A and B are shown apart, each in its own frame.
Chain A
Amino acid sequence: MNHSNSNSTMPSHPALNPPLWVNALIATLSLTFLGLFIIAPLGVILTEAFRAGMSVWLASIREPDALAAIRLTLLVAAIAVPLNMVFGVAASWAIAKFRFRGRTVLLTLIDLPFAVSPVVSGLIFVLLFGLHGWMGPWLADHNLQIIFAVPGIVLSTLFVTFPFVARELIPLMTEQGSEEEQAALSLGANGWQIFRRVTLPNIKWGLLYGVTLCNARSMGEFGAVSVVSGHIRGETNTLPLHIEVLYNEYNFAAAFACASLLAALALVTLALKSLVEWRSEQT
């Protein structure tokens, strides 16, 4: 993975070094910004979460609705992340290693979830599968419920988090080219062996990076899920939705306790991300 280590190996030319005061100004500005908008909120969440003490925090987490929200969030991520991993690898493989008609269209479509507001993404599913949507009557006839139920939440999460893996892998695989695969082929390997022994090891750090981001987003997604979930307590509330409900009910202690879980997830994600970047620079 060269996108991350190209920066660190770039020689800094003495003539390009700005004067000391400019350096200091830039550093102060970015650190202040970082402190105000990222570190401070994180601190607030953690202090608010534990303000009333450990027992209150534990009680807020152990409350049945909170547990249900955690369970649902984990379930959604457990379905969406592996699927997007497979889709992402397949799409990047196709785009990076082959030239085919419709390749640029596919490349653009992968970015669509990034370009569309999550709320709109959620609405698309409501329009498709909702009671008054295109497929609504048919679904109702067959007793299938997608909107205001778990399948809808999974679908909209899948949609919103689709680009993460593919976006990470396409530049990497394009840069690596397909010569190693051709070599493996000439040495007698079959398609699966080539993928498992050559392609996958070459992309594993990029893949892990993409999966980490995809996971963080699928657990934290609010907008799209909010539209399709219907906010049924203990049933269709994911962790972010549960936090919103608590907050709207002025139950700040519980809201912040649950929020601290998501914040912890963010920290774990960041740690994993740096670990992956560090590892990929090593190899």
Chain B
Amino acid sequence: MSIILKNINKSFGAFKALSNIYLKFQSGELTALLGPSGSGKTTLLKIVAGLEQADRTDGAGLLFDGESVADDPVNQRQVGFVFQHYALFRHMTVFENIAFGLRVKPRTQRPDNKTIQEKVNRLLSLVQMASLANRYPSQLSGGQRQRIALARALAIEPKVLLLDEPFGALDAQVRSELRRWLRQLHDTIHVTSIFVTHDQEEALEVADRIVVMNRGVIEQVGTPEDVFHRPANKFVMQFLGDVNVFHGRIESGHAVFTEAPDGPKESEARMLVRPHDLLIRRTSEVNDNGVQAKVYRVLTAGSVVKVELIDHQNRLIQVQLSHERYRETPVKPHEDVILVPHQPHVYAGEEKWNGNYVI
């Protein structure tokens, strides 16, 4: 089922949580709402679920498959909602938790006991928890609880599955395991899904499409490829992974990053480069266009080599390279080198700079 959001606004008192949100979620797609805390992503999710109401503004609309649901109460929207802290019914067994959505259906639509049994058992094996049907939530681990919460949401055959920071409360290892599992699950059931996260890695790994949000507005919508390699603006670039920032200025139509200090505020320029997009060259080797820097530390213990350097403006620069690459130019601390940016993203103020630049 497709979801369309039109001109969604939400204020809490004087605080504007969401402004002018337009979004379309394709049927069967797994979308991540990614942003720092306070960016409005959870509020947006709750508006889709009906747990929050959008402000009544002109042209505001929420459509499921082209039909407005903005006035439908939560319990008639048929959305599966998975809470960050699971919100399992603590006095019910795992089985009864999953069966809940079926047991509260109006009498005419309620399946009989046998059908409920079969359905719950099917869901239990789908989430690989068949042996724990008679446990209580307090007897389960965090990861197990989250799976049950998911099975419970799926029991009502939701038109859309909404997950609020589904892995936020889990430790790192369980988290990456569940991430992969969620992706697989989505590939088997193909229900339109939206999940909220502040973890860029999670979004990049799991989602078909990412909506990057900041301070109640959408910064960029795109595939993981798009947002990572072609960030729309400085915020997206900085939020999705580590970046090195080089300071410069705009001078007669050029962005200049030579040694001179920052210019006046209106001509500020920034060059953002990811740590793996910087090449380290020995000063003696080539006369490439690059930034002068001095090696500060070399960390070789890890899957990649991390080199920390201090640039001519006295800022810390991080470079990541493969062990093979490092063996070609094995720089040592205190060595003077040239850093050649491979894929620099240049910004004038907050906007992308498409003109020339000088390093």
Interface flag for A58 (CB, 8 Å): no
By a CB distance below 8 angstroms, the chain B residues around A201 are: 89, 91-92
Of the 9-residue stretches B62-70, B71-79, B127-135, B318-326, which lies at the interface with chain A? B71-79
CB interface residues, A 193-235, toward B, < 8 Å: 193, 197-198, 201-202
With the chains together, A187 CA to B80 CA distance in Å?
7
Q: Which of B77, B85, B100, B103 has the most CB of A within 10 A?
A: B100
Interface flag for A174 (CB, 8 Å): no
Interface flag for A111 (CB, 8 Å): no
With the chains together, A183 CA to B153 CA distance in Å?
9
By a CB distance below 8 angstroms, the chain B residues around A189 are: 75, 100, 104
By a CB distance below 8 angstroms, the chain A residues around B185 are: none
Interface flag for B105 (CB, 8 Å): yes
With the chains together, A182 CA to B51 CA distance in Å?
8
CB interface residues, B 144-165, toward A, < 8 Å: 149, 152-153, 155-156
Interface flag for A186 (CB, 8 Å): yes
Please tell me if the beta carbons of A197 and B100 are within 8 angstroms of each other in the complex: yes
By a CB distance below 8 angstroms, the chain B residues around A183 are: 81, 83, 87-89, 149, 152
Interface flag for A86 (CB, 8 Å): no
Please tell me if the beta carbons of B100 and A180 are within 8 angstroms of each other in the complex: no
Contacts A182-B81, A193-B104, A197-B100 given; does A187 touch B87 at CB 8 Å: no
With the chains together, A188 CA to B105 CA distance in Å?
7
With the chains together, A186 CA to B72 CA distance in Å?
12
With the chains together, A180 CA to B101 CA distance in Å?
13
Please tell me if the beta carbons of A283 and B156 are within 8 angstroms of each other in the complex: no
Interface flag for B90 (CB, 8 Å): yes
Smallest Cβ distance from B46 to chain A, in angstroms? Answer: 9
Interface flag for A30 (CB, 8 Å): no
Smallest Cβ distance from A186 to chain B, in angstroms? Answer: 4
By a CB distance below 8 angstroms, the chain A residues around B81 are: 182-183, 186
Smallest Cβ distance from A195 to chain B, in angstroms? Answer: 12
Please tell me if the beta carbons of A188 and B83 are within 8 angstroms of each other in the complex: no
Please tell me if the beta carbons of B91 and A202 are within 8 angstroms of each other in the complex: yes
Smallest Cβ distance from A212 to chain B, in angstroms? Answer: 20
Interface flag for A179 (CB, 8 Å): yes
Please tell me if the beta carbons of A186 and B104 are within 8 angstroms of each other in the complex: no
Interface flag for B227 (CB, 8 Å): no
Closest residue of chain A to B74 (Cβ to Cβ) is: A185
With the chains together, A197 CA to B101 CA distance in Å?
11
Please tell me if the beta carbons of B76 and A179 are within 8 angstroms of each other in the complex: no
**Partner of B101 from A182, A187, A202 at Cβ < 8 Å:** A187
Q: Which of A179, A182, A183, A193 has the most CB of B within 10 A?
A: A183
Smallest Cβ distance from B164 to chain A, in angstroms? Answer: 10
Closest residue of chain B to A192 (Cβ to Cβ) is: B104
Interface flag for B49 (CB, 8 Å): yes
Measured as residues with beta carbon below 8 angstroms from the partner, the interface class of chain A is: 10 to 19
Please tell me if the beta carbons of B100 and A184 are within 8 angstroms of each other in the complex: yes
CB interface residues, A 36-53, toward B, < 8 Å: none
Smallest Cβ distance from B308 to chain A, in angstroms? Answer: 44
Contacts A182-B51, A182-B81 given; does A188 touch B90 at CB 8 Å: no
By a CB distance below 8 angstroms, the chain A residues around B87 are: 179-180, 182-183
With the chains together, A190 CA to B76 CA distance in Å?
9
**Partner of B100 from A187, A202, A283 at Cβ < 8 Å:** A187
Closest residue of chain A to B85 (Cβ to Cβ) is: A179
Please tell me if the beta carbons of A188 and B101 are within 8 angstroms of each other in the complex: yes
Closest residue of chain B to A193 (Cβ to Cβ) is: B104
By a CB distance below 8 angstroms, the chain B residues around A190 are: 75, 104
With the chains together, A186 CA to B77 CA distance in Å?
8
Please tell me if the beta carbons of A180 and B75 are within 8 angstroms of each other in the complex: no
With the chains together, A87 CA to B292 CA distance in Å?
75
**Partner of A188 from B85, B88, B91, B104 at Cβ < 8 Å:** B104
With the chains together, A188 CA to B87 CA distance in Å?
15
Smallest Cβ distance from B243 to chain A, in angstroms? Answer: 37
By a CB distance below 8 angstroms, the chain B residues around A188 are: 75-76, 78, 101, 104-105, 156
By a CB distance below 8 angstroms, the chain B residues around A202 are: 90-91
Please tell me if the beta carbons of B152 and A187 are within 8 angstroms of each other in the complex: yes
With the chains together, A271 CA to B254 CA distance in Å?
85
By a CB distance below 8 angstroms, the chain A residues around B77 are: 186
Smallest Cβ distance from A194 to chain B, in angstroms? Answer: 8
With the chains together, A190 CA to B106 CA distance in Å?
10
With the chains together, A186 CA to B312 CA distance in Å?
57
With the chains together, A202 CA to B90 CA distance in Å?
8
By a CB distance below 8 angstroms, the chain A residues around B104 are: 184, 187-190, 193, 197
Nearest 5 Cβ contacts at the A-B interface: A187-B101, A179-B87, A186-B81, A189-B104, A183-B87
